[in-house]
């Protein structure tokens, strides 16, 4: 987790260098460990570093002494050691950083180097000899990236929108799974899979599924600093934590080159007093043997943090703000303990159909197409939340369920095997694959959205708070007040007011998707159920005939 800045196609180097430094200062929370900058008459690259791998020598921007190319990276390249074997000629290595490999892969393979990377990343590479630049983002958009243009046409690249807001008249999200080569002057999609265009027919194997996910977790445990795991007490985070605990112990016991920095794995959970998640998280921690830390926050502490959360997340989406606030509070506590990286269960619901509304999918084809829609929007929702809520305090979140190699396997499974028809429990194939690793009550616990699981009083309080600040008259003219990305509820209207106070450019609001959503569905999936008609709450409890504590009781 770092912060990157790039400015190109400008005329005044001295002025743009000052601008780059100012932009970098707005995202220093992402990389509080060191700052670096490169500048010449054609390019300026700035970097705010969070040191995870090669803490002593991995400062950026990195420069290839052979070609003069310059690189800034935000992210982690898990297969960097294996990729060294792909190099055809010797290179003058400056660090043991996982990111330096990108310089030499680009030198030998050009833009195709992006497809070779296994990891989460957003990077800017200045090709000094050609006078061009190359920008790329990981397959799912786990790491954020934005691109903008000022009145003079200078191109600006930044990890977060706030760095562009005061300088660019136009900016937008840099699309996940794409790269931009300034010589071609177009965005090219590099991550393209068959499952994105057709319904897969692969057969699921519990043994293979378990192997692929364990491999993903083990890859993502790459770290030279203390790391931890997030446990909500639900299935997904519990599986990731249990796998991490298994391999963390092995790394200590074998005393090999992968020896863990800390001999004990620490876990973290967050919630209101007596929240649904808290007791289950504690049971998981006791079962897998982690040193567990539970953060209890109050409703007032949550309300007080809303403005800061919206500033860091750069969104006014209702579900995202609801879920990010407890995560934001927890991240500060985690970082205070000296931990720089955590593993999380994000992404499981998008690949297995874990949201409760998936019970209503009419057939396997629509089930799969909704998975693809959900995955394509993760960079605007769950990935945005997981990344920016923790990056606010210089903490990196990794997401093994969205590992590129794991996705290649799991998204190739016939969706018929993922479906949860009738009373069948969602994510059945995942639960079956990890039978025995966790207590049965965890393996078969029903889905809770994070904003529900931290305590139902949290959402109810947010709704009440919005009702006190936003009138019916204000909602009646919402489309006039906010013609771009018009808020569709009082709660979202309240968040939008704060957002517009923080971000002045009209381009800012356009980066936030707005549309009807029930229980985190896409607008398309709302037509699956007549029950959704007239409803407007994204809480999982909106699925009344599936959720045990539905907002509406069964048969009413």
In order of 56, 120, 384, 404, 428, the CA distances from 141 in angstroms are 28, 8, 8, 11, 27
Strand ranges (E), 1-79: 3-8, 34-39, 43-49, 62-63, 70-77
Q: Which residues contact 304 (CB under 8 A, 6 or more apart)?
A: none
Rounded average pLDDT over 102-117: 98
| Token pair in block for residue 229 | 């795991």
Q: Given strand 227-230, what is the order of strands in its sheet?
A: 291-296, 266-271, 227-230, 341-343, 396-398
pLDDT for the residue 553:
37
The conformational region for residue 131 under phi > 0 = left, psi -120 to 50 = alpha, else beta, is: left
In order of 158, 162, 186, 306, 526, the CA distances from 189 in angstroms are 19, 25, 10, 35, 29
pLDDT for the residue 516:
72
Among 310, 323, 282, which residue's Cα sits nearest to residue 451? 323
Our measurement of the distance from residue 164's CA atom to the centroid of its chain's CA atoms, rounded to an integer in Å, reads 20
| Token pair in block for residue 416 | 């018929």
Q: Given strand 119-127, what is the order of strands in its sheet?
A: 62-63, 70-77, 119-127, 132-137, 178-181, 186-189
Predicted confidence (pLDDT) per residue in 490-530, tens digit: 999 999 999 999 999 999 999 999 877 666 778 888 888 77
- What percent of the chain is helix, strand and coil (3-state, nearest 5)? 45, 15, 40
CA atoms within 13 Å, Cβ hemisphere of 472: 0
Whether 538 shows a pLDDT value over 90: the answer reads: no
In order of 255, 300, 309, 473, the CA distances from 494 in angstroms are 53, 16, 13, 14
Interatomic CA distance for residues 403 and 418, integer angstroms: 19
Q: Which residues contact 242 (CB under 8 A, 6 or more apart)?
A: 284, 287, 288, 434, 437, 438
In order of 59, 67, 70, 93, 130, the CA distances from 107 in angstroms are 20, 8, 11, 13, 12
Largest distance between two CA atoms of the chain: 72
pLDDT classification of 1: cutoffs 50, 70, 90 = confident
> Are the C-beta atoms of residues 310 and 321 closer than 8 Å to each other?
yes
- Give the pairing type, strands 186-189 and 178-181: antiparallel
Predicted confidence (pLDDT) per residue in 352-390, tens digit: 999 989 999 999 999 999 999 999 999 999 999 999 999
Residue 73's φ and ψ, nearest 5 degrees, are -130, 140
Mean pLDDT of the chain: 92
pLDDT classification of 229: cutoffs 50, 70, 90 = very high
Identify the residue with better confidence: 157 or 248. Answer: 157
What domains, with CATH codes, occur in the chain? Answer: 3-192 (3.60.20.10), 206-452 (3.40.50.620)
Rounded average pLDDT over 193-209: 97
- What end-to-end distance do the CA atoms of the chain give, in Å? 48
pLDDT for the residue 199:
98
Q: What is the DSSP letter of 281?
A: H
HEC assignment per residue over 494-547: HHHHHHHHHCCCHHHHHCCCCCCCCCCCCHHHHHHCHHHCCCCCCCHHHCCCCC
Rounded average pLDDT over 189-217: 97
Whether 534 shows a pLDDT value over 80: the answer reads: no
* Active site amino acids: 2
Question: Of all residues in the chain, what percent carry a pLDDT higher than 90?
Answer: 83
Predicted confidence (pLDDT) per residue in 426-478, tens digit: 999 999 999 999 999 999 988 765 545 576 789 999 999 999 999 999 999 99
pLDDT for the residue 102:
98
pLDDT for the residue 250:
58
pLDDT for the residue 278:
87
pLDDT for the residue 554:
33
Among 426, 427, 435, 443, which residue's Cα sits nearest to residue 284? 443
pLDDT for the residue 526:
83
Residue 257 burial by Cβ neighbours in a 10 Å radius (0-12, 13-18, 19+):
exposed
pLDDT for the residue 542:
52
- Give the pairing type, strands 227-230 and 341-343: parallel
pLDDT classification of 292: cutoffs 50, 70, 90 = very high
Predicted confidence (pLDDT) per residue in 300-349, tens digit: 999 999 999 999 999 999 999 999 999 999 999 999 999 999 999 999 99
pLDDT for the residue 556:
29
């Amino acid at each position: 987790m770092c912060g990157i800045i790039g400015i190109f196609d400008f005329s005044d180097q001295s002025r743009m260098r000052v601008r780059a430094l100012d932009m970098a200062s707005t995202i220093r929370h992402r990389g509080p460990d060191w700052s670096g900058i490169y500048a010449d008459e054609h390019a300026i690259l700035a970097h705010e570093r969070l040191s995870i791998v090669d803490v002593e020598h991995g400062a950026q921007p990195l420069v290839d002494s052979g070609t003069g190319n310059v690189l800034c990276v935000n992210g982690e390249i898990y297969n960097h050691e294996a990729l060294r074997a792909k190099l055809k000629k010797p290179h003058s290595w400056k660090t043991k950083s996982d990111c330096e490999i990108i310089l030499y892969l680009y030198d030998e393979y050009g833009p195709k180097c992006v497809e070779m990377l296994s990891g989460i990343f957003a990077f800017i590479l200045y090709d000094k000899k050609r006078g061009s630049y190359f920008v790329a983002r990981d397959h799912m958009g786990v790491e954020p990236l934005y691109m903008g243009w000022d009145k003079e046409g200078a191109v600006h690249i930044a990890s977060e929108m706030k760095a562009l807001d005061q300088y660019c008249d136009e900016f937008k999200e840099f699309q996940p799974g794409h790269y931009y080569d300034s010589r071609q002057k177009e965005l090219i999609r590099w991550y393209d899979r068959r499952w994105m265009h057709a319904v897969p027919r692969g057969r699921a194997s519990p043994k293979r599924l378990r192997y692929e996910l364990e491999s993903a977790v083990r890859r993502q445990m790459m770290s030279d600093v203390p790391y931890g795991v997030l446990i909500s007490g639900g299935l997904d985070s519990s599986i990731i934590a249990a796998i991490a605990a298994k391999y963390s112990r092995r790394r200590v016991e074998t005393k090999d080159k992968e020896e863990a920095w800390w001999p004990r794995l620490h876990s973290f959970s967050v919630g209101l007093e007596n929240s649904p998640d808290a007791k289950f998280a504690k049971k998981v921690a006791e079962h897998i043997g982690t040193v567990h830390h539970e953060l209890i926050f109050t409703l007032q502490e949550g309300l007080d943090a809303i403005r800061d959360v919206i500033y860091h997340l750069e969104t006014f989406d209702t579900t995202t703000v609801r879920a990010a606030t407890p995560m934001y509070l927890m991240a500060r506590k985690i970082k205070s303990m000296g931990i720089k990286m955590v593993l999380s269960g994000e992404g499981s619901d998008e690949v297995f159909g874990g949201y409760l509304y998936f019970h209503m999918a009419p057939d396997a084809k629509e089930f799969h197409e909704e998975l693809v829609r959900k995955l394509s929007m993760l960079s605007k929702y769950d990935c945005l939340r997981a990344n920016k809520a923790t990056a606010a305090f210089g903490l990196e979140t990794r997401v093994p369920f969205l590992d590129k190699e794991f996705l290649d396997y799991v998204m190739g499974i016939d969706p018929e095997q993922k479906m949860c028809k009738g009373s069948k429990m969602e994510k059945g194939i995942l639960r079956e694959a990890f039978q025995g690793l966790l207590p049965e009550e965890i393996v078969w616990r029903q889905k809770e959205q994070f904003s529900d699981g931290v305590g139902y009083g949290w959402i109810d309080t947010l709704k009440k708070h919005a009702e006190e600040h936003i009138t019916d008259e204000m909602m009646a003219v919402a489309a006039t007040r906010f013609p771009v990305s018009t808020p569709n509820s009082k709660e979202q209207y309240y968040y939008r007011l704060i957002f517009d106070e923080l971000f002045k450019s009209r381009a800012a609001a356009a980066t936030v998707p707005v549309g009807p959503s029930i229980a985190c569905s896409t607008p398309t999936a709302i037509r699956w159920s007549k029950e959704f008609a007239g409803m407007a709450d994204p809480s999982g409890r909106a699925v009344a005939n599936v959720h045990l504590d539905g907002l509406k009781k069964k048969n009413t």
